[in-house]
Amino acid sequence: MALTSSSSVSVSGSPYWDMRYEYSEEVRASLGPGVYNRDPVVGYHLLNSSGIIQSLKLGLATKIGNKIRIGLSFESLYNNDLSYESGVNVLDQDDALASDTTMIHNINLSIDRLVRPSLGCIIGLRPNLELGLSIAPSSEMNFNTGGLVPIVNEKTQLPGFSFSDSSSSYTVSLPQELGLSIVAHLDNPTKTIMTGGINFIDWENHDTQMVKHSMIDTVDFKYQSTVGISFGVEHWILNKTPFRFGFFYSESPLGDEFEITNVSIGSGWVYNNISVDVAAIFGSVEYMYTDLFTPQGQDASTLERVNESNAVLKATLKYSF
């Protein structure tokens, strides 16, 4: 939405944290010989979360001279039906289950609405080369729950959750972020745009959570600050349809084992004042963690390998006045 030839304002909405996750482990018994069904289903281990933390962003931008553009945004974060479920559904008692009776925790969550500002600047170095700078200050997101308490797993020293008999609240720090990017419009017969960037997140100074339930605790996750590197190419087919390819490598505040590289592809179309963009993002990570549902009579001393693969499809709709 243009205000003048040098100023503009925009409003956008998108998910900030998608917390929807469903896990159901079918547990079977191991019966002796002479039994017709030697491995009947005796229950399920369940771990589900639902809801989305939504983002509503207001952006203001203006142009200074012929080479500098400055933008300021205010991002409002709010929740949408957050909940967490974990437990055991027992059909028939068996030592393979983590409990001899059905026991499922259902916890509702919410966050206090917060507004996070950010500032960006684009500098034209040459007619076909631009440098971008961005900064977002740290903010505190406050969670209110019916008894879900963040902890540090003693065996892995990784984040986890436990349950409290009373309502609880805790803060999650959104650390300061600094970004540097560059955009090059290549002098080709076919329109081609190359982008690259580096992003620094100050996790090291925002790695504690204040937890309030029956008492007040401070949980220290010992995060490390991270650097992310991205690279992308947008190539226009027949100068009409863009094809985009990129990758993003990111360190993890949890350590080297959790570093991840995502690969993305995408395209877009323009119809008069409406533009549509679609993108698919793929990535995976492997790490060791304790068994979330330890069978009765066993302990969680043995670590198991966890392989997480993700595929995300995104679509963006934009209307220009």
For residue 13, the cross-strand partners are 56
30 vs 252, higher pLDDT: 252
Total residues found in the chain within this entry: 321
Q: Report yes or no on 220 lying in a domain.
A: yes
- What pLDDT shows up at residue 237? 83
We report the CATH number of the domain holding residue 110 as 2.40.160.60
Q: Report yes or no on 1 lying in a domain.
A: no
Check whether 321 has a pLDDT greater than 80: no
Domain count, the chain: 1
- What pLDDT shows up at residue 35? 67
Check whether 211 has a pLDDT greater than 70: yes
Q: Report yes or no on 212 lying in a domain.
A: yes
105 vs 2, higher pLDDT: 105
188 vs 250, higher pLDDT: 250
Per mean pLDDT, which range of 69-73, 128-132, 231-235, 299-303 is the poorest?
299-303
Helix (H, G, I), strand (E, B) or coil at 258: helix
CA distance 149 to 181: 38
Check whether 43 has a pLDDT greater than 70: yes
Check whether 1 has a pLDDT greater than 70: no
Check whether 139 has a pLDDT greater than 60: yes
Q: Report yes or no on 83 lying in a domain.
A: yes
pLDDT tens digits, residue range 240-283? Answer: 888 999 999 999 999 888 999 999 999 988 888 888 999 999 99
Q: What is the pTM of this model?
A: 0.82
- What pLDDT shows up at residue 4? 46
- What pLDDT shows up at residue 178? 97
- CA dist 139 to 76, 100, 114, 176, 265, Å? 12, 43, 8, 8, 32
Q: Report yes or no on 31 lying in a domain.
A: yes
Q: Report yes or no on 227 lying in a domain.
A: yes
Residues 195-211 as b or e (16 or more Cβ within 10 Å = b): bebebbbbbeebbebeb
- CA dist 179 to 120, 232, 254, 287, Å? 9, 16, 21, 28
Q: What is the sign, positive or negative, of the torsion defined by CA atoms of 291, 292, 295, 296?
A: positive
Give 295's DSSP letter: P
Per mean pLDDT, which range of 8-22, 24-38, 131-145 is the poorest?
24-38
pLDDT tens digits, residue range 72-86? Answer: 999 999 998 899 999
Q: Report yes or no on 2 lying in a domain.
A: no
% of the chain surpassing 90 pLDDT:
50
Q: Report yes or no on 283 lying in a domain.
A: yes
Domain that holds residue 25: 7-319
